[in-house]
Each structure stands twice: as C-alpha cells, then as structure tokens.
Amino acid sequence: MLRETPQLAPDGLPYRLSILRNQAGVVVTMMDWGATLLSCRVPLRDGSVRETLLGCPSPENYLNQSAFLGATVGRYANRIAGSQYVYEGKTVTLQPSQGEHQLHGGPRGFDKQRWRILRQNDSEVLYTLDSPDGDQGFPGNFRTTALYQLTDDNRIRIQFTAWCDQACPVNLTNHAYFNLDATPGDIREHQLQLLADQYLPVDASGIPRRGLADVTGTSFDFRKPKTIGADFLADEDQQVVNGYDHAWLLNARGDATQPAACLWSTDRRLKLTVYTSAPALQFYSGNFLAGTQAREQGEYQNWQGLALESEFLPDSPNNPQWPQPDCFLRPQQEYSSLTEYQFTEQ
C-alpha cells in the first residue's frame, strides 16, 4: 500500500509512505525521503506485537534528528578521515559533516534526499536515486537502487546496487536502530553475538588510527552470545566513544548465507539474525541518542537502540591494505550489497 502524507517535505511534495505486509502479520513502513525504514511491527504467538525499530512520531520529525534513524546512507557510510582520499595519485576533497571528517556521505547525503519509487507492492518497494558529479565532493555521475523486501519468513531483505561513470568509493547501508523489547528500554540488557575475530579500534572522532585488533581477551569478543552490558565501557577503546561504535571484520565476509550477528531481546523471546554480503558490521550501541525525538512521546536516551550496519570498514578509501574487497566502484562495474534482518520468536 502506498499513501501520501498531508505534511510536505523540504522539496514541497508529500512524503510517500510504503506499507509492506507478509503472511505472518509483520508490517514494515517506509518513506521515500531518505529511503527510510520507519517501523517494523512483529507479532508474537501470545497476540502481542513488538515494534522493533526506533522512530520519530511523524515523517517531518526525521528532519530534526541527527541519528540517521532508519535511513539509507551513502555514497559512503561511516567516516572518511579528513574528508579526503587519494586515488591514483590525485587527492579528492569531500564535504565534511562531522568536524573535519565526512560522516555518512556528507552534509546532504542520501538520507536527506528524496528517492524515486520505481515499483512497489505489498511485499517490496524499489527506490532509485541519482547523485550528480561533485555531489558532496564525490566524483562521477552516480545512480543507485535500493530494493526493500519483506519475506514470508520475516526477513527485511535489502539489496543495494550502484553504477558510476568515474571511479568512486561506495559504501551503502541502512541505519536502522533496533530494540527488541516490548517496552524499549536500555539495549544493554539485550544479548548479542558477532561472528568476527577482529574489530577496528578508533579514536574519539571515530577514525581508525591503528590496524585491526584481535577480539580475544577484550570487551569486543562477542563470538559467543553475551549481554551487551557485561563488558560495557570496560576499556579505553569503548570509553573514547561512550560505548560500542566500532566495525567488526566478519568471519563469513562476502557470504550472505551465513549469520553475521544475532541479537536477543531482554526476555529472550525475540531474536534478530543478520545476514550480509558486506565484509564488516558496524555495531553502534546508541551512545549519543539522547535528545532524539521518540515515536511514542518524549525523547530517546543513550543506549536505547542499537545499529548493526553492514558495510566496508570505516575510512577504507585511505586504507587499501585491509583484508576486504576494494571499496572503489569503477566505470563499467556494478556495486552490489545484500543484507537481511530476520526476526524469529524463541
């Protein structure tokens, strides 16, 4: 189902909301501004329904938050240090959006633009966006599609594709914040598993200053499920960013048939499993959510939602030595990235 809102977006047109439903009764709502996931309501066997995503009260409220709630992020998700990179001997300068660095594609990234709906029905919506040469500093005329599907086995399936007529780094992801509890409280009581042997330490601005580190013996070891709060703020790598806001290099990188992460609600009744073809997952524990307008009333607090963003490692354009595929998309090539979020009742 597709409907338009009485409220108008910054371009003077209504927001267009797409509502997806499956046979299990899951209902997913999206909007074309930022190709944004607004809501995902999952019914349980006892007749209750859990809202699994953080969100704002209405579409126009998304313009007044800086947490990227549910948005499709690009051209390059996460951070590029100093808002520049060198490609084939030439320095490319980007528009900064977090201090001197670029975060999530720049001050007017894909989350702040209207995506065009190519097709939609009860199970899927296909968006497209054109980004001209020089947009936020990135080279090349760039076109991307984002296919969001709701499957009958309760998966939100996200397929990104992209093309560019000049070499350009590409890193598309969705920035949904999950909280699987009936009443969304502190996510540090959730249990998490990250199937990764290495993580990437960062400084206080989220920029990696040294190489990948082994998770063994650290607070970053989630290879076996553990409560997020068990080792929270236990070491300097967390303390500098007020919690977890780091990328893990996945053991199954590139294989979207293998689980990358699992998340359980506080009561362990609802489970989220993440599958992705991306090489890394950024686990962000919502360290600076405070002040973000909440769907029901008031504001969210820090650590009330978490993101599991499928992506290349942050600042990959400046670190070609990392053991992952090349993040540069070249003419005549196609970028493709698949991520699935599956909900199951335990």
Alpha-carbon span 41 to 30, nearest angstrom: 12
User: Whose CA is closest to 37, among 8, 22, 59?
Assistant: 59
Binding annotation for beta-D-galactose? 78-79, 175-177, 245
Q: Which of the following is catalytic: 51, 309, 311, 340? A: 309
- Cα–Cα distance, 132 to 129 (Å, whole number): 10
Q: How far apart are the first and last CA of the chain?
A: 30
Unique residue bearing structure tokens 């299990």? 24
Active site residue 175: yes
Find the catalytic residue in 175, 246, 311, 340.
175
Q: Write out the two tokens for 248.
A: 């893990």
Q: How far does Cα 58 stand from its chain's mean position?
A: 20
309 is catalytic: yes
The set of catalytic residues is 175, 309
